[in-house]
Structure 1
Amino acid sequence: MRIVHYNAGGPEFTGREFQYDAHHAHMIDELRKRGHDVLHVNPAALLGRYGTRAEYGDVTVQAVKEFADAGGCDLFFSTAVDHSFDPETAREISRLGIPTVNLGMDDLSHPFRVKEVTSAFDLVWTTDVRAMPRLKKYGARNLVHMPYGANPNIFYPVSEPDFERAIVFIGACYGARSRAIAMLAQADVPIRVYGTSPMDIYGDDAKSLPALRGLFSYRDGWHRAFQSMAFHEGRTIVRAALLRTVENTLKDLPEKHPKKGNVEYRQGPSFEDWSRVMGGRALSLGSLELASTFVLSKPITFIRFREFEAAMCGAAHLVNYNEELASYFAPDKEMIFFESFEEMIDKARFWLHPDRDGARQKMREAVRASALGAHTWSHRFQACCDHLGIHQTV
């Protein structure tokens, strides 16, 4: 197949690495290695600068036309949002006879970011079933719910000779993540963090006022807050941010002591090193809480990239219970779930014990097999093609 992959996020024209390297490490690399011809279109890179929606549309349509003229185009795939993508761009590509698909990356927390573009695509792919009613209101003509996937060529099992009986977390340590990491470390559960530390995010005292950070850390912070009041998940996020701000002001929380306990912070790995980092530790840690909702009695959870990356690496993954995720990976056989921070600590201790080495290895093998059998990007793109009536094998 000949596929155009559109993403306006990464400043590739600056000479830095792709800001959203996940697009290349995940979808593009896997599709290309399966023999598909994939053109990556970043309109900012084509312009050599950031531009307007109209400018992005012009260069995108031109790039698609040139690609199609050179050998045809079977699919236009994007992760478009309103502020950088003109809906007319998708309609013009559709008029060229090219099916269009848009994947919403934040449909649950920020559905208003795709309010304009949703109706312009032939197929809208959301990763959260709870977002479907709102996307239908936005005019989605053809809608499919599927989770993320993972590229088995980048994420694969590795047995490290310097095995460490510890938990590994990869990513930026903020919010629920910083609390989980601090609680594990302070309970003397060894945890190794690869990524941005809470000290880098919050400062040395790790004190934060989430409500104010949400309003002022983003250019459109006030707009986000206003738009969030129009739907249930948004109102819950705002309420949780206010509650967490009060907690951070009045309480001595674990995350205020990020260096205390058995914790080490290390530089984040490249995607190519993830398998080695995952394979070198007994467990990996996931965090599914949405924004500050971890302070509520019933947090909102949603499935991230990480769960499929960990599964594809064959990691013994410790993560919040989520009904949908548990339907993909069998509890305690393919993935380890917890429903509170206290249960997280108990299960970490249980699964780190040497007596569980054999069971963990079986779990690693089982979760890799499950991920490989049903959760690659090829599986996801094949489903998109099937929905669109494209009779080709991905």
Structure 2
Amino acid sequence: MRIIHYNAGGPEFQGREFQYDAHHAHMIDELRKRGHEVLHINPAALLGRYDSPKAYGAATIEAVRDFQADGGCDLFFATAVDHSFDPDTAREISRMGVPTVNLNMDDMSHPFRVQKVTPAFDLVWTTDPTNMGLIRKYGAKKLIHMPYAANPNVFYPDISSTPERAIMFIGACYGARSRAIARLAQAGVLTRVYGKSPMDIYGSEAKSLPAVRALFNYRDGWHRAINSLSFPSGRACIRSALIRTVQNTVMDLPEKHPEKGDIEYRPGPSFDDWSKVMGGIDLSLGSLELASTFVLKKPHYFIRFREFEAAMCGAAHLVSASEELMEYFDPDKEMIYYSGFDEMVDKAKFWLNPAQDTARMAIRKAAHTRALGEHTWAHRFQKVFDTLGIPATV
């Protein structure tokens, strides 16, 4: 099959081949290795500049017509949002006879970003079920929910030496992650962070306040806040940001001491090194809490790439107790879950105990088996093809 991948986010013309490396390391690489031809379109790169959705649309349609003339296309796959994608682009491509699908990546936190583009696509794929009703109201013709997945060619078990008896986190250390990591290190758990530390992320004291950061760190901060009032998870984000801002102002929180305890911050790994890093430490930490909602009695959980990457790497992954994630990986058999930071610390200590080495290794093997059998991008795209009635096998 010939699949067009559209993403307008990367300044490829500025010397970086792809801004969203995750798209290529995950879905695109796997599709190509399964024999499909994936044609990448970045309209900013085609134009050699950032421009308007209309300009991007014209460049995209011209590229699709060229692809159609040179062998045809079977699917137009996008991660489009309103501020950079003209809905008429998807409509025109569909009129060419190419089915169109849009992957929504932020429907729990920012569903309003796809309000205009949603009715233009033949199929909308959302990664979170929370606001599916809202996406339908936007006019989705067909709507499916599927979580992320992981590419087994990039993420695979690699335990080349005896793993360090520690817990690690891969990613930027902020929000709930910062709280969790600080709690672990200050409780005496050997902790390794591969990615930006809180010192790298937070500047002045004012910037460390969630409400201030939400409004002023982005050009559309006020627009986000206003739109977030229109749906429950958005209102929860606003409420929790205000609560956390007060807490940060008056309380001595663990994350205010990011270097306390046995903790080390290391550079984030490249995708080439990902599996080796995952295999080199006994426990992997996951954090699913949306924005600052970890301060609420009932946090909002959003499943990220990391959970599937960790499982595909055969990691023993300690993560927030999401009911949805438990449908994908069985508790204490394929993944380890915690409810609250106290239980997180207790379970980290328990599973790092040498007495649990055999049981922990069983979890690692079972996690990889489950991920490989059910959570590759081939599984996800097969459902896309089946939903659109495309007679193809990934």
Match of 1:325 in 2: 325
User: Which secondary structure does the structure 2 equivalent of 1:129 belong to?
Assistant: coil
CA distance 1:223–1:152, shift in 2 (3 Å)? same
Q: Distance in 1 between matches of 2:22 and 2:53?
A: 23
Where does residue 129 of structure 1 map in the other structure? 129
- Aligned partners of 1:17 and 1:3: how far apart in 2? 19
Q: Aligned residue for 1:335?
A: 335
> What CA distance in whole angstroms lies between the structure 2 residues aligned with 1:182 and 1:304?
21
CA distance in 2, matches of 1:91, 1:256: 50
Q: Distance in 2 between matches of 1:205 and 1:362?
A: 44
Partner of residue 284, structure 1: 284
Alignment of 1:205-224 (within 5 A): 208-224=208-224
Q: Does 1:113 align with 2:119?
A: no
Q: Secondary structure at the match of 2:83?
A: coil
Mapped pair 1:67 → 2:72 = no
Letter in 1 for 2:213: R
1:39-90 alpha-carbon deviations (Å, 9 max, x no partner)? 0111111111111101100111111111121111000000000000000000
Q: Provide the C-alpha distance between the structure 2 equivalents of 1:345 and 1:204, rounded to a whole number of angstroms.
A: 29
1:241 partner letter? A
Report 1:311-390 matches (<5 A). Answer: 311-390=311-390
Does 1:104 find its partner at 2:104? yes
Are the equivalent residues in 2 in contact too, given 1:313–1:368 (CA < 8 A)?
A: yes
Q: Distance in 2 between matches of 1:44 and 1:248?
A: 40
SS in 1 for 2:337: strand
What one-letter code is carried by the residue in structure 2 that aligns with 1:169? F
Which amino acid counterpart does residue 75 of structure 2 have in structure 1? Answer: L
Contact 1:207 1:248 in 2 (8 A): no
**CA offsets 1:108-149 (integer angstroms, 9 cap, x no match):** 110000000000000000011112100000000101011111
The structural deviation recorded for 1:17 is 5.1
SS at match of 1:130: coil
CA contact (8 A) 2:321 2:337 kept: yes
Which amino acid in the other structure matches residue 290 of structure 2? L
SS of match in other structure, 1:44: helix
| TM-score between both structures, scaled by the size of structure 1 | 0.98
Two-structure CA RMSD over aligned residues (Å): 1.1
Distance, in Å, in 2 between the alignment partners of 1:353 and 1:158 is 21
Deviation at 1:288, TM superposition (A): 0.2
Whole-angstrom distance in 2 between the partners of 1:205 and 1:56: 39
Q: 1:38 to 1:207 in 2, by over 3 A?
A: closer
- Percent identity of the aligned residues? 71
2:82 match: secondary structure: coil
Normalising by structure 2, we get a TM-score of 0.98
Q: CA deviation at 1:205?
A: 7.2
CA contact (8 A) 1:199 1:206 kept: no
Contact 1:82 1:116 in 2 (8 A): yes
Pairing 1:12-51 to 2, within 5 Å after superposition: 12-16=12-16, 18-51=18-51
Shift of 1:206: 9.9
Deviation (angstroms), 1:160: 2.9
Aligned-pair CA distance for 1:204: 8.3
Structure 1 residues 149-185: Cα deviation after superposition (integer angstroms, max 9, x where no partner): 1100000000131521111100000100000000000
Report the equivalent of 1:263. Answer: 263
Aligned to 1:89: 89
Partner secondary structure for residue 156 of structure 1: coil
Moved more, 324-333 or 153-162: 153-162
Q: Distance in 2 between matches of 1:14 and 1:207?
A: 29
1:308 is paired with a residue of what secondary structure?
helix
Aligned equivalents of 1:340, 1:123: Cα separation in 2: 37
Give me the whole-angstrom Cα distance separating, in 2, the residues matched to 1:87 and 1:203: 38
Matched residue count = 394
Runs of 4 or more off by more than 3 Å in structure 1? 203-207
- Quick check: 1:194 aligned with 2:197? no
Matched AA of 2:321: Y
Instruction: Give unmatched runs, 5+ long, in structure 1.
Output: none
**Residues 387/300 of structure 1: CA separation in 2 closer, same or farther (3 Å cut):** same
- Structure-2 separation of matches of 1:293 and 1:130: 15
Structure 2 CA distance for aligned equivalents of residues 340 and 224 of structure 1: 28
Aligned to 1:71, the other structure's residue is in SS state coil
C-alpha distance in structure 2 between counterparts of 1:131 and 1:235, whole Å: 13
Match in the other structure for 2:245: 245
Question: 1:196, 1:334 → 2: CA distance?
Answer: 28
Deviation at 1:292, TM superposition (A): 0.5
Matched, 1:148 2:155: no
